[in-house]
Chain A
Amino acid sequence: MQHYQVFTASVAIIFFVIVFTLIRRDSILMGAAFRWFIIAIGTLILGIYPQLSDVAAGALGISYPPILPITIVCLVLMIKALLSDIERAKTQVKLDRLAQQLAIMELKLREKLKE
């Protein structure tokens, strides 16, 4: 075991424990929890065996192996941010339509009371 592996493995283990605890406490929605669980396992494996990225980079013809996991992580994070924005748009529309509906109902109720 290389000296730096102690550091990468510790970071990965801490991350895994945090994700696992949050899932255990039901702090994350089920679908998202599963995605985070997969990511945590991936991080754990790569943290304990950082040499894996050297092998993968060699196979892909990348001369600077550390950039491979960083690129993948950036891509995953960007997709995640995009998905969050889509989710937020949907939630906002739902909320705004609910607000409109509430105002409509309130107006109707007042009209009914007046009659």
Chain B
Amino acid sequence: MLKSLLIIIPAHNEADSIKNVICNLFENGYSNILVVNDASSDDTALIAEGLGVKVMNLPYNLGAWRATQAGVRYAEEQGFQNVITFDADGQHLGETLSQLIKIGNETKADIVIGSCTQRGTLSRHIAWTIFRTLSGVGVQDLTSGLRLYNKAAISVLSTKGATLLEYQDVGVLLLLRTFKLLKVEVEVPMKKRENGKSRIFYSWGTVAYYMAYTTMLCISKLKKNKQQVIN
């Protein structure tokens, strides 16, 4: 187990699954959990508080990535050495975290991505292939929310530049590449979503927006350097 590890779970109306997700983490020996309640209108925060984990309540809906970033910024302020981002919809399994931590320790990577390339439909795989080629980040599962970040990655992700991003996927990976952080990917099993839909792959409209947005992001961030981000 890693020293001072915080597990960040961004949650927006996940009352049906949050209990199982947290209990699953408890069963696997992880107790330092922060649920970032992204202005849920259901009992997500109450359930999480009832289970004794930290709950951060955002005053209004910031979206999955900015909610995660709120947790990352908290981790930075509190001096955590590592954070793991974990989905609240029951897709990720607590059992797989030890794999991520082990790989992180062995490779000394700044980011370890838990990827599951078996999941997703054909259209999602086509999207991944396009963005992998366009962005050149070389990650198989671009949209995976299961990631381990170390101190260096935490400080990059806490910056203002990262607040501008919409999703925790290509944009974040491009930002981390700009800062020359080392990333590795590890294949892990994932469950099918217990309920709810992906926030990205929600409807044809959101998919079209996501595709266009990410394409633009990939093209506009070509050959960007560190200095340009800081300024």
Contacts and interface: CB of A to CB of B under 8 A. Distances in A.
Interface of A: 89, 93, 96-97, 99-104, 106-107, 111
A66 B62 CA distance: 47
> Chain B interface secondary structure, helix, strand, loop or mixed?
mixed
A100 B57 contact: no
Contact of A107 (B55, B59, B164): B55
Interface string B43-72: 000000000001111111010001001100
B58 A93 contact: no
B62 A99 contact: yes
Interface string B192-215: 000000000000000000000000
Given A100-B66, A100-B69, A100-B73, A107 B163 contact: no
A100 B163 CA distance: 10
Given A93-B164, A96-B66, A100-B73, 16 more contacts: A93-B160, A93-B163, A99-B58, A99-B62, A100-B58, A100-B62, A101-B73, A103-B58, A104-B56, A104-B70, A104-B74, A104-B77, A107-B54, A107-B55, A107-B57, A111-B54
Contacts of A111: 54
Interface of B: 36, 54-60, 62, 66, 69-70, 73-74, 77, 160, 163-164
Contacts of A106: 56-57
7 contacts: A100-B66, A101-B73, A106-B56, A106-B57, A107-B55, A107-B56, A107-B57
Nearest to B76: A104
A97 B56 CA distance: 14
A25 to B, nearest CB: 31
Contact of B70 (A89, A93, A103): A103
A99 to B, nearest CB: 5
